[in-house]
Chains A and B, each alone.
Chain A
Amino acid sequence: MFRIFALPNRTMAFALSWLLFAGGIVFYLRTSHARHVDNPDDRILPTVQQLAGGFWHAATTPADDDADVAENAPAAQRFLNSMLWKDTKASGQRFLLSLVLMLPAVILGLHMGALPWIGSFFTRSILFFDKIVALSVLPILFIAFGIGQTAKIMLIVIGVAPTIILDTFNLTKSVPAEQVIKGFTLGAKDLAVTYRVMLPQIWPRILNSIRLNLKAIALFLFAGEMIASTDGLAYRIALLQRHMGMDLIVPYVLWVALLLFLVDAALRMFIRWMNPWFRET
């Protein structure tokens, strides 16, 4: 069974992939049930009903500081005014803005890899910059940019951009010399070789690298939101932690995981759709 050449069939592989999930859920349910039998007011492990109630509350009730919505308002309107949606929108905007800011990082990495002079100029500094623990500069960011949006986005950029730059640099370097030479023999100049020979073939790998860094982006986003924010998913979790609101924290954590999972899946599909020749995703 546990041999290198022992391959599970498709059904078995599918079942195995769900086994840990199912085990985790069963374990939670049993533990939660046991704790509630001992103490019906237990707040550490809420029951399924409490979790569902918490999620429903978050998805239909406005945040404390927002105006109430009529009880009989349509579900969509109630959701769009809910604290869950408000927090998701606030975090999502920061997240997307950070993703967009990865583009200059990609372009810098590409030029560093393609043009040796640019590479020599930047590599050492970026390597050093990459070793700075982003969270340690958080106070500096708050002092320099205030506690608004900019500081949080800068934190994400400082935390993730050097990795993306270095990854793009390495990917560009890995383009076979034969193809670069071939590009020149087909009439392309430096810029055309960089953007029409190198970039298209490393593009899916760059997207893959960004995809693998989604969690790092979320981590820095959450750190910024937890420390100084008035909205956002992490802000809400930090707020609920003060009241031991596990019936809301757990649905929020699962919601964040689900969103990241969906972004990851969407990116994977996008990479495959955009690059039918690419078979590594």
Chain B
Amino acid sequence: MRSLISLRDITVRYPLKGGGTHTVFSGLNLTIDEGEFICVVGQTGCGKSTLLRLILGSEQPSSGEVRMDGRQIQEPNRERGYVPQKCSLFPDKTVLENVAFGPIIESFRLHRLVSPAWWKTRKNIRDESSEYLRRVGLSPKDGSKYPDQLSGGMQQRVSIAQSLIMQPRILLMDEAFSALDPATRAEMQRLTRSIWQDTNTTFLFVTHNLAEAVFLGSRVILIAKENAADHSRIACDLQIPDRIRRADGYPRQDELDRVIYKLECAAVDKRPDDVLVLK
């Protein structure tokens, strides 16, 4: 597979209020290939969201390089879609306007306002947005609602449609389902996985939930704090093979338990194989 994003020798430091610095990463290296579904797991404060922001371009490393297709990432752009946990939709726009926002911005040029072709493009954008709404399981009548009239799950569906319509090279999701109830969460997980399979977009999904990571990801990266240092490192980088999955995509229970156990052991810095033997 072709490499899409590479992080080379990344160090992230934040100044502390009382003086000194806090190092989140030191010498971090990571390569993301095209078409992968990467789930990043780890404890609160270990740097999962920092990693996502580095790839997004909303934060720059203290040293090192984050590159996409060999080009340095400077700021967020349409190549990298973003679905945050909350505040993901524009409250002043209807659902349909939210989804159509990106294409309208892209097509908007002041001089085109007078051309009938632009208005036709607008109509096409609305049709396309309705199609994307349908694809994430929403009906056209939801299009006229405002975000605060939707449930949390529906809002995240719209947020995904809003990002997907731009056909990003990678979709970055930051604990996108953490605030949802278990049933909606499971539904959103199935939807996200099916979108990944249908579109072949690369996904990077940050979550606390190990089972969610193993279900969704083709690769799971565990970030943990080093015992001796205050910074975090990649403690485990696991490929999740398709052979451990059932027909419905869920990993078989025994395999799921094994992988989760492996991740938990890596998190506390034990040697997983030894522990597995003990078990």
Residues on A lying within 8 angstroms of B by beta carbon are 176-179, 181-182, 184-188, 192, 196-197, 200-201, 203, 275-279
Q: Residues of A contacting B75 with CB < 8 Å?
A: 184
Q: Does B163 lie within 8 Å of A185, measured CB to CB? A: yes
Interface range on chain B: under 10, 10 to 19, 20 to 34, or 35 or more?
Answer: 20 to 34
* Main SS class of interface, A: helix
Q: Looking at the complex, which of B38-46, B86-94, B181-189, B264-272 is the stretch in contact with chain A?
A: B86-94
B140 to chain A, nearest CB (A): 19
Q: Residues of A contacting B148 with CB < 8 Å?
A: 277, 279
Interface string of B101-125 (1 = CB under 8 A from A): 1100110100000000000000000
Cβ-based interface call for B219 (8 A): no
* Number of residue pairs A-B, CB distance < 8 angstroms: 73
Cβ-based interface call for B162 (8 A): yes
How far is it, in angstroms, between the C-alpha of A67 and the C-alpha of B168 when the chains are bound?
73
How far is it, in angstroms, between the C-alpha of A202 and the C-alpha of B178 when the chains are bound?
28
Q: Does B86 lie within 8 Å of A186, measured CB to CB? A: no
Q: Does B146 lie within 8 Å of A179, measured CB to CB? A: no
How far is it, in angstroms, between the C-alpha of A25 and the C-alpha of B190 when the chains are bound?
67
Q: Does A201 lie within 8 Å of B88, measured CB to CB? A: no
Q: Residues of B contacting A181 with CB < 8 Å?
A: 56, 58, 76, 82, 84
With A201-B92, A276-B146 known as contacts, the answer to whether A185 contacts B87 (CB < 8 A) is no
Q: Residues of B contacting A186 with CB < 8 Å?
A: 78, 101-102, 105, 162-163, 166
Residues on B lying within 8 angstroms of A by beta carbon are 56, 58, 75-78, 80-82, 84, 86-88, 90-93, 101-102, 105-106, 108, 146-148, 162-163, 166, 168
How far is it, in angstroms, between the C-alpha of A277 and the C-alpha of B146 when the chains are bound?
6
Which of B76, B81, B92, B108 has a CB less than 8 Å from the CB of A200?
B92
Interface contacts beyond A182-B88, A187-B106, A277-B92: sample of 19 additional A-B pairs, CB < 8 Å, sorted by A = A178-B84, A178-B87, A181-B56, A181-B82, A182-B90, A185-B81, A186-B78, A186-B162, A187-B78, A187-B102, A187-B105, A188-B105, A192-B108, A196-B101, A200-B92, A201-B90, A201-B91, A203-B92, A277-B91
* Main SS class of interface, B: loop
B179 to chain A, nearest CB (A): 13
A43 to chain B, nearest CB (A): 54
Q: Does B76 lie within 8 Å of A176, measured CB to CB? A: no
A145 to chain B, nearest CB (A): 37
Q: Does A185 lie within 8 Å of B166, measured CB to CB? A: yes
Q: Residues of A contacting B80 with CB < 8 Å?
A: 185
How far is it, in angstroms, between the C-alpha of A278 and the C-alpha of B166 when the chains are bound?
28
How far is it, in angstroms, between the C-alpha of A96 and the C-alpha of B242 when the chains are bound?
69
A157 to chain B, nearest CB (A): 28
How far is it, in angstroms, between the C-alpha of A186 and the C-alpha of B102 when the chains are bound?
4
Which of A178, A185, A279 has a CB less than 8 Å from the CB of B86?
A178
How far is it, in angstroms, between the C-alpha of A197 and the C-alpha of B84 when the chains are bound?
16
How far is it, in angstroms, between the C-alpha of A197 and the C-alpha of B97 when the chains are bound?
12
